[in-house]
Amino acid sequence: MKKACLAFFILFIGQIINAQDNSQEKLFYYYKNERVYLDKDYSRISVVWNSVIDSNEFRRWQMLPIIGVKKMDVDSRKQTFVPIDKMKSIQDTSFIITEIEFPENTVWQDYEKYVQQILAENNVVKVIPAYMISGQPLSISSKFYVKLFKEEDRYKLAEFAKKHAIQVIGYNEFMPLWMTLACTKECTLNAIEAADLFYETGMFESAEPEILYYDLLLSDDKYFGNQWGLKNTGQHCKTADIDIRAESAWTLTTGSPNIKVAVFDQGIKMDHPDLENNIYGMGYDAETDTTPSCLRGSHGTACAGIIAAQQNNSIGVSGVAPNVKLISVSCALTFGNTAQQLANGFNWAWRNGADVISNSWGGYAPSAVIDDAIKNALIRGRNGKGTVVVFSAGNDNNTSIRYPAKSNTDILVVGAISPNGERKSDKSCDKENWGSCYGSMLDVMAPGVRVPTTTSDGKYRDDFNGTSSACPHVAGVAALVLSVNPNLTALQVRNVIESTAQKVGGYDYRGVSGMPNGTWHEEMGYGLVDAYAAVRAASAPSIDLFDRVITENTTVLNYYGDINVKNVKVQNGAKLVLDAVGNVNIMGDFEVELGSEYEILR
């Protein structure tokens, strides 16, 4: 009898332990063949409905300790998918998502009980856990994305989906290898589990859940005298000359109206008196896949003013590149945006002529869908020269540079400095309690504190902060560079900006492996962007090495164009290194004496 009781006790304890283990189980999705782990957040759940709802729907749940409800407008009818069978329309009934908040002290047993009670509602399709990644919240919808190896795999996908009660909605209009699918009410899987299932078959290149991103924003002439980032006279921190040397650059160019900068943000107030003359086209709204752009907040107008507010019009502020054109690409960037919406913004921008895309936002959950869209811009934009993509590093005062900034080494990643030339930190002279992210993916720095700019109510502010304000400074410099040399590739623009940056702040800049454009420091990248030096360098796209006798070791660098060689001799055991982003053109006699040598780097 005692043995039986002991066996029962062990079995009972084992069940409790297993139950506890299940409650702590981490789900993951695949990104670049690696697992990205998520922590379950018991204070929130997402509910997918098959009909429009209002607050009355929740009256029947008065026994639940609900403390808040947020509606996420993830209506697939507002997004353009192309069905596999073009003779049929999109049949998607999983339209509306709400997020329900519980008290923070909710335990997993109560959480599961609440989930079952909500799932019993007739018009509820799915109840989905909420998650945390790197301490930040995110949610998952009932949809997921699958990337095919080739378009013919669509029918293989449809057959596999049917076996698991999964609906194939359609493919992305910009990237036709990316399919969108939805877990139906009959499907026993959630979107994370379904995405993992599809990926692990090996039949498809990639798969990931549809992530609903939270707050992605990175920002906590009348006024030109306050624009210390363009001309620092010691307005703040009593430190002069720490600026991007904009006035010197303007002696060479104030920007060409043929160069267009897409501000991918909350939309630009296109009739702002300091911006309206520099607006190009009607823009695009990534949330609804429609034109024109929408004004979904104030952040985008602030970024746009830093890039291209009109100059010498007796009002407001001046942009870094006051004669280039602005394209408004809008998205809320606050709650509920999907990876596919964000990807569509990039794809639309480069397809519609953007030379530069400025992005003052970022999060933590990576997405191969967004990666592919950015890669398209970097490689296919500007008729194959590549669109310059600029991103904010983040405001977390640590080495965790935000995604997507860290996703591709060809992105220009921008950190923020304070007015005394140091990396903005919680100890900076400006006394503001935040800090710029830094680390191995950081490229350059730009002003990020108390920046005057335009506002979405048609007025101005003098306190735009964060790497959100640093990023558009560099986007503006990229636009100036392309204004004097539109033939440069995106990589060449990046090399010009990095190689000409100012070594400010008293940091120990050093040569670092994998950082080819000069000395570098983990807190400052290559240094503070220098508009004048970058424009001057880009104005001379080739270096001529003519009629020279090289008798000692010599390196000729050209970070932005070609090196032309004619009538050159290398003698006395010397070594000549020709290092060019562009081509090394041997245009005439080139003689290397025995015992001497030369090397061409690209």
Cβ-based neighbour number of residue 386 at 10 Å: 24
pLDDT at 122: 73
What is the rounded CA–CA span in Å between residue 212 and residue 217?
14
Mind listing the pLDDT tens digit for each residue in 284-324?
999 999 999 999 999 999 999 999 999 989 899 999 999 99
DSSP string across 147-162: E-SSGGGHHHHHHHHH
Catalytic residue positions?
A: 265, 299, 468
Are 337 and 307 in contact by the 8 Å Cβ rule? The answer is no
pLDDT at 452: 93
Largest CA distance in the chain: 104
Mind listing the pLDDT tens digit for each residue in 49-73?
776 555 555 555 555 666 556 655 4
- Starting at the edge strand found earlier in the chain, the sheet holding 597-601 runs 554-558, 575-580, 597-601
What is the rounded CA–CA span in Å between residue 527 and residue 443?
8
What is the rounded CA–CA span in Å between residue 540 and residue 558?
10
404 upstream amide cis, omega within 30 of 0 = yes
Does the structure show a pLDDT above 90 at 106? no
- Per-residue pLDDT, averaged over 437-446, amounts to 97
Q: Which two tokens stand for residue 40?
A: 């379950």
pLDDT at 532: 94
- Per-residue pLDDT, averaged over 162-187, amounts to 92
Cα distances (angstroms) measured from residue 340 to each of 133, 397, 477: 19, 29, 29
Residue in the block written with tokens 């034109």: 291
Residue among 98, 168, 162, 161 at smallest CA distance from 126:
98
- pTM for the whole thing? 0.84
pLDDT at 64: 65
Could you give the dihedral angle defined by the CA atoms of residues 160, 161, 162 and 165, in that order, rounded to the nearest 10 degrees?
Answer: 140
Cα distances (angstroms) measured from residue 317 to each of 94, 327, 448, 462: 46, 19, 16, 10
How is the chain split among helix, strand and coil, in percent rounded to 5? 25, 30, 45
Give the chain's mean pLDDT.
Answer: 86
**DSSP, res 293:** -
Angle at 319 between CA 314 and CA 320, to 5 degrees: 135
In 254-373, DSSP assigns E strands to: 260-265, 284-285, 325-330, 337-338, 356-359
Where residue 421 falls (left for φ over 0; alpha for ψ -120 to 50; beta otherwise) is left
Are 273 and 500 in contact by the 8 Å Cβ rule? The answer is no
Does the structure show a pLDDT above 50 at 332? yes
Mind listing the pLDDT tens digit for each residue in 538-590?
987 788 999 999 999 998 888 667 899 999 999 999 999 998 867 888 988 99
- Per-residue pLDDT, averaged over 231-246, amounts to 81
Cα distances (angstroms) measured from residue 457 to each of 269, 273, 301, 312, 454: 8, 11, 9, 21, 9
CA 164 to chain centre: 34
pLDDT at 66: 62
Mind listing the pLDDT tens digit for each residue in 525-551?
999 999 999 999 898 778 899 999 999
Mind listing the pLDDT tens digit for each residue in 258-268?
999 999 999 99
Are 320 and 356 in contact by the 8 Å Cβ rule? The answer is no
In 408-519, DSSP assigns E strands to: 412-417, 444-447, 451-454, 460-464
Are 64 and 106 in contact by the 8 Å Cβ rule? The answer is no
Mind listing the pLDDT tens digit for each residue in 13-33?
333 333 443 445 668 999 999
- Per-residue pLDDT, averaged over 98-102, amounts to 80
**DSSP, res 187:** -
- Residue 115: strand, helix, or coil: helix
Cα distances (angstroms) measured from residue 395 to each of 193, 219, 313, 374, 524: 32, 8, 33, 22, 14
CA atoms within 13 A on the CB side of 555: 7
